[in-house]
Structure 1
Amino acid sequence: MRRYLVLLLFLSLPIEAQQLLFEKTRTQAGYEFEYRWRDADKRQLSLAFTLPHDKFPTELLQPKAYHPKAAQRRIYMALMKHSSELDPRLASVRIQRRGRDLSWSIRTTKASAKQDIQRQLMEVRQSTMDQYLWENYYHRFESFLGQEGIKPDHMRFANESQPPLLPVSQALYQSLNTKERRPYIRLLLGWLQSIPYNPLDNRLESNGSGYLSPPAVILNNVGDCDSKTTLAGSLLATMLPKMSTVIIYLPNHALLGLKIAPLAGEKTLKLDGETYVLAEPTGPALLPIGEIGPDSERAIDTGMYHFERF
């Protein structure tokens, strides 16, 4: 009996992706890429494309790590500047820094003036932080538990990566000759799942330094789940522009939601009244459309997720 249980367990394990070849060659035309991998049906597939050297802005290739002290310093200087421009006959403001906290005190004889200055300072703090995050490709997010954090702006990375990664989308699209969506999604998933995987750091604790942008995943042939899922969403937006796609964030993981008609047995999730079929681009498990890992399934079933639309 034990032998049968071991056999059943082995048969139930997902097949792991195999990247058989990765070659990157720099030529006068650009970087030439060639891939070969084995899919879940043990078929050997291939993909080749060229990416021009000059199509990658530095911001896309080398995302900056988020530094709270740098953000605080920027806000402090903005608050000091705004305070120095106030009429000293009306009010005086003292800005204080204590660790990661910024506070201020306002001295004035007019209550209405104090309220107005308080509003101004809060607006300066908010707008300065927003500007700092935008310049560094970050934004605020809220976990499924309501915890607030800062993470790379995956949607912005996905959108701005579409033009330079157009040769990749075209190569994937030209590999097939069909008007159906699923073959393209299946091809994309298998290719991404075969790219070597890096574990994801905790989003709430990480400064984003482990995240790789869509072009960087290709150039480095590696990526964590956030990085690979963002790349998948960016390419799908070009390949299948009429299909709605979402990125679904789980604790320390991410996957895709695809607005396609579900087949029997496929795992789906209803978001804002619309049904999405789930898909795992990360690998190394070769999971087909509509099949997700057991940890992902538990998180989805217990509501431990939030999402963003591409």
Structure 2
Amino acid sequence: MFGLIIVSLFATVVHPLTHHLAVGTIDGQALYSLETDDVARRVYMIQARDAAGASSSLALDVCAHVLFGLTSDGFTTLRSKEIVGDVHSLAWSPTGRNLHALNSRSSASSTTSITNFRIAEDPNLEDIAGTDILANVTSASQIVSHPTSDLVYLVTKDTNELVTLPLQQMNMRLRHRATASPSRYRLLPSSLDATQFHTSSLAITSSKNTLWTLSQSQNQAVITAFSLNATTGEVLNVAARASWQGAGEGQLTAAPFAAGEVVAITNSPMGYITVLGLEQNLAGFASEFGQSSEHDYLKAMPVTGLKRDGMDAAAARIQSYGRAILDDFIGLGESVWID
């Protein structure tokens, strides 16, 4: 359920080269407002205010005027029947008529399943279209759906894989179920010891051209940008990869604007907000900027085998648009972009 946190967070008219995001804390002590400057490539905090409760997850209304945070009281709750396992990630279908619940442990083993809820005009979370067991997929950590095509994506925490699953129409009521034959993509290069890493988050940009994944070890983070077919959602290749030093757990949130393929990363407990984008070496967003010393934390990693439709893909690199530290040893929730 959601409790109302604040109304009219920012003015409705802002400079087109500045953007805003908000992030709360897991303990509910504060709600932070931040601004990014695309030209200066900086991220800075505007305001820290008392929060109405824990904000492990935030959501924005369609008018971008009201911010909601997950709390333990407030409005009416819809509750499904109990599902044995560990359900901690959800993804909506493009139509909003299906809700996919990722269950990382559906049995005594670590088998992964997806339960598909049909969402009616008056939903009750009791209309289950089906539950699919995914073959040889374990320890899945997060699921997202493509904004327009019938594909869902998930990442695995222990094996560090990106898994894609097509959805198939079940009947005229447009119930969708995942097929049992996923496609898999390795997230880490062979030069790294994958057993030291775990993958916690993924996000698709609003352009539908890029999918980001985040993997972390005790002292290093690796972020990977996959190129997507914007229409079908098919994974085309690894466009770019980069890393930085540091501990903690990160969560990705894609920006609502298409330019730059931008994503924000919240890190706990180190308290960093990092903003990254993908530069395609083409005229446009951020191509004119060099990498200054304040962005030296980000290290490019080599990518091989870049092919797209039989041709070499354009060289791309992950670009830093700044980072800000909010506090030391603070539990940050997922961020949300305001504009």
Please report the TM-score for the alignment, with normalisation by the length of structure 1: 0.26
TM-score, normalized by length of structure 2?
Answer: 0.24
Greater CA radius of gyration, 1 or 2?
Answer: 1
Structure (1 or 2) with the greater strand fraction: 2
